[in-house]
C-alpha cells in the first residue's frame, strides 16, 4: 500500500514539474477564460474650494475580459471596459497676497462615459511568442486608437526571457462648450504617441524571479488640458504646455516565494524621467498570503513621489518667456501612498475577488518635500469586486 502511494506521489510530482518546466514561458490558453470586474472610484471632496463644486469624480466601471484558445499555438484576448463618471474638476488657482493658493472648481455637472475595447492575438512557437494588439477608446470629447506588437524569446533552458514591445497611438480631442469658454480650442486637436519597452526576466533561484524593463516614449501634438485655465498677467488663459514630451523609464519586478509562510512577496520599483523635468519614484510592495480553504489575502502598499515640471507653478506672478502655463496638480511636486487589501476565494473552476485601495497624496509624502502644496491634490478610494471563470 505504501509503495503504491509513494509511486502515485512521485508520478504526481513528476507531472507538476513537467508543467512547471514551461512556467514563465508564454503559454497558449487551453481553456476559455472569462473575467468580470466592477470598480467604484470615488475622489474625496475638496476642502474649501473658492468656487464651483467641492464634489470630485465618482466613476463606476464595468470591465470584461475573454481569452479564447484558437489552436495549439494561438489564442485571442478581448477586453471591454465601460466607465460612467460624474463630478467636478479643478479649473484654475487664485492667490491673495501671502495666503495659501485657492482652487476654483468647475460645476458638478460634468458627466461623461468612456468605452474602451482592445483585442490581442498571440502566436507561440516553442521558444518564441508574437503578439499584436489593437485598441480604441471613446468619450464624448475624446477618441483614441492604438496599435502595438510584442515579441518574446526564451533562452534554451527556459530560465530567461527577452521581450521587446512597441505601440503607436493617435488621439483626437474635441472639447465641449468651446463656444462658451474661449480658453478651449474650437477645432479638433490631435496628439500622437509612440512607445517601446524592452524587458529581461530571469529565474534567479528556485524561489526568486526578477524582471528588468527599460522604456522610451514620445508624445507630440496637443498635450495641454483644454478644460484647465490659468490666471496670468494677460488675464485668464487656457492651460498651455509644450507640444512634445519624451519620457524614459526603468523598472524592476521581484517575485520571491517564502516557503515557510506559503506566501509570495512582490517588490516592484520604477524610475521615471521626462524632458518636462519630472522625475518620479514608485515602489510597490504586496504580500500574497495563502490561507486555508483556497483563500488568498493580499495586503499591499504603493509609495509614489514626483518632482514638478519646469513650467508648472501653483500661481503665476510673472509672465513666462516660453508662454507655457499650467497649475495642474499632476505637474506639481507631491507624493502619495496607496494602502490596499485584496481577498481571493478560489473554487473548482472559478474564483471571486474583492479589494479596496485608499490613495492619499500631499506635498510632503514619500520623497516629496514642497514648500507650497497644490490645493487640488487628490485622495481617492477604489473598491473592486469580480469573478473569473474557466470553461
On the CB side of 310, CA atoms within 13 Å amount to 11
Return the sign of the alpha-carbon dihedral for residues 138, 226, 320, 309.
negative
Among 135, 178, 337, 367, binds another protein (CB under 8 A): 135
d(CA 284, CA 282): 7
HSE, side-chain direction, 13 A CA sphere, residue 100? 12
Instruction: Compare residues 18 and 321 and give the one whose CB is closer to another protein.
Output: 18
Cβ distance to another protein smaller for residue 246 or 319:
246
Structural contact between residues 214 and 242, judged by C-beta atoms closer than 8 angstroms:
no
Stretch that binds another protein, among 1-9, 121-129, 248-256, 365-373 (CB under 8 A): 248-256
Which of positions 253-282 make contact with another protein (CB under 8 A)? 253, 255, 257, 263-264, 268, 270-274, 276, 278, 280, 282
Helix, strand and coil percent figures for the chain, each rounded to 5? 5, 60, 35
Among 82, 114, 153, 320, binds another protein (CB under 8 A): 114
Q: What residues from 328 to 357 belong to the interface with another protein (CB under 8 A)?
A: 330-331, 336, 342, 353, 355, 357
Alpha carbon distance, N-terminus to C-terminus of the chain:
36
Cα 125 from Cα 12, distance rounded (Å)? 27
Max CA distance (Å), the chain: 91
Q: Which member of 9, 19, 301, 354 binds another protein (CB under 8 A)?
A: 19
10 binds another protein (CB under 8 A): no
* Binding pattern for the stretch 157-196 against another protein, x by CB under 8 A and - elsewhere: -xx-----xxx-xxx-x-----------------x-x-xx
Identity of the residue, 232 or 282, whose beta carbon is nearer to another protein in the bound complex: 282
Nearest to 305 by CA among 327, 282, 328: 282
Dist CA 31 CA 349 (whole Å): 11
Footprint on residues 369-388 left by another protein (CB under 8 A):
378, 380, 382, 384, 386
Beta strands in 262-313 (DSSP E): 263-274, 279-290, 295-306
State in angstroms the smallest separation of the CB of 231 from another protein.
18
What the block records as the C-alpha cell of 333 is: 511636486
Report how far Cα 244 is from the mean position of its chain's Cα atoms. 21
Q: From the CB of 62, what's the least distance to another protein, in Å?
A: 11
Nearer to another protein, 306 or 318 (CB): 306
Give the Cα separation of 300 and 304 in Å (integer): 13
Window 221-240: contact mask with another protein (x via CB under 8 A): ----x-xx------------
Stretch that binds another protein, among 122-130, 179-187, 252-260, 317-325 (CB under 8 A): 252-260
Decide whether 142 or 181 has the Cβ nearer to another protein: 142
Give φ, ψ of 130 to 5 degrees: -125, 135
The verdict on 108 binding another protein (CB under 8 A) reads no
Which positions from 196 through 225 interact with another protein, judged by CB under 8 A? 196-197, 199, 201-215, 217, 225
For another protein, the closer of residues 274 and 372 by Cβ is 274
Secondary structure class of 140 (helix, strand, coil) = coil
Number of residues lying near another protein (CB under 8 A): 107
Contact string (CB under 8 A) for another protein, positions 60-99, x = contact: -x-x-x-------------x-x-------x----------
State the nearest-atom distance from the C-beta of 171 to another protein, in Å: 5
Q: What is the DSSP string of 339-370?
A: EEEEEEEE-SSEEEEEEEEEEEEETTSTT---
DSSP 20: H
Kindly write out the interface string for residues 37-66 of this chain, putting x where it contacts another protein by CB under 8 A and - elsewhere.
Answer: x-x-x-------------------x-x-x-
What backbone torsions phi and psi does residue 182 show, to the nearest 5 degrees? -75, -10
Q: Which stretch binds another protein (CB under 8 A): 3-11, 92-100, 145-153, 177-185?
A: 145-153
- Read off the C-alpha cell for 250: 526603468
Amino acid at each position: 500500500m505504501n509503495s503504491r502511494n509513494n509511486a502515485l506521489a512521485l508520478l504526481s510530482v513528476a507531472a507538476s514539474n513537467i508543467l512547471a518546466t514551461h512556467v514563465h514561458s508564454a503559454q497558449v490558453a487551453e481553456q476559455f477564460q472569462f473575467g468580470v470586474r466592477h470598480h467604484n472610484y470615488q475622489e474625496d471632496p475638496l476642502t474649501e474650494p473658492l468656487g464651483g463644486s467641492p464634489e470630485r469624480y465618482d466613476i463606476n466601471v464595468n470591465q470584461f475580459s475573454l481569452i479564447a484558445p484558437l489552436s495549439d499555438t494561438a489564442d485571442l484576448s478581448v477586453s471591454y471596459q465601460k466607465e460612467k463618471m460624474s463630478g467636478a474638476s479643478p479649473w484654475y488657482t487664485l492667490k491673495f497676497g501671502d495666503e495659501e493658493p485657492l482652487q476654483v472648481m468647475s460645476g458638478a455637472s460634468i458627466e461623461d462615459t468612456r468605452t474602451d475595447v482592445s483585442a490581442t492575438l498571440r502566436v507561440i512557437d516553442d521558444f518564441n511568442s508574437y503578439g499584436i494588439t489593437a485598441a480604441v477608446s471613446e468619450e464624448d470629447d475624446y477618441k483614441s486608437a492604438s496599435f502595438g506588437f510584442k515579441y518574446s524569446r526564451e533562452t534554451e533552458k527556459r530560465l530567461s526571457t527577452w521581450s521587446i514591445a512597441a505601440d503607436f497611438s493617435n488621439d483626437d480631442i474635441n472639447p465641449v462648450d468651446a463656444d462658451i469658454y474661449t480658453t478651449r480650442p474650437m477645432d479638433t486637436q490631435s496628439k500622437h504617441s509612440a512607445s517601446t519597452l524592452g524587458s529581461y526576466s530571469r529565474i534567479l533561484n528556485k524561489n526568486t524571479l526578477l524582471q528588468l524593463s527599460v522604456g522610451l516614449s514620445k508624445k507630440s501634438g496637443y498635450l495641454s488640458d483644454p478644460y484647465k485655465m490659468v490666471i496670468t498677467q494677460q488675464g485668464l488663459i487656457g492651460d498651455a504646455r509644450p507640444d512634445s514630451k519624451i519620457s524614459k523609464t526603468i523598472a524592476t519586478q521581484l517575485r520571491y516565494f517564502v516557503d515557510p509562510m506559503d506566501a509570495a512577496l512582490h517588490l516592484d520599483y520604477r524610475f521615471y524621467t521626462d524632458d518636462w523635468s519630472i522625475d518620479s519614484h514608485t515602489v510597490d510592495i504586496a504580500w500574497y498570503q495563502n490561507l486555508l480553504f483556497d483563500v488568498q489575502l493580499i495586503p499591499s502598499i504603493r509609495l509614489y513621489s514626483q518632482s514638478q515640471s519646469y513650467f508648472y507653478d501653483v500661481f503665476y506672478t510673472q509672465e513666462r518667456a516660453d508662454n507655457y502655463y499650467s497649475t495642474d496638480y499632476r505637474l506639481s511636486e507631491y507624493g502619495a501612498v496607496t494602502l490596499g487589501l485584496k481577498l481571493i476565494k478560489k473554487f473548482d473552476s472559478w474564483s471571486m475577488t474583492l479589494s479596496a485601495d485608499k490613495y492619499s497624496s500631499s506635498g510632503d509624502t514619500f520623497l516629496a518635500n514642497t514648500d507650497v502644496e497644490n490645493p487640488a491634490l487628490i485622495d481617492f478610494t477604489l473598491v473592486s469586486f469580480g469573478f473569473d471563470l474557466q470553461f
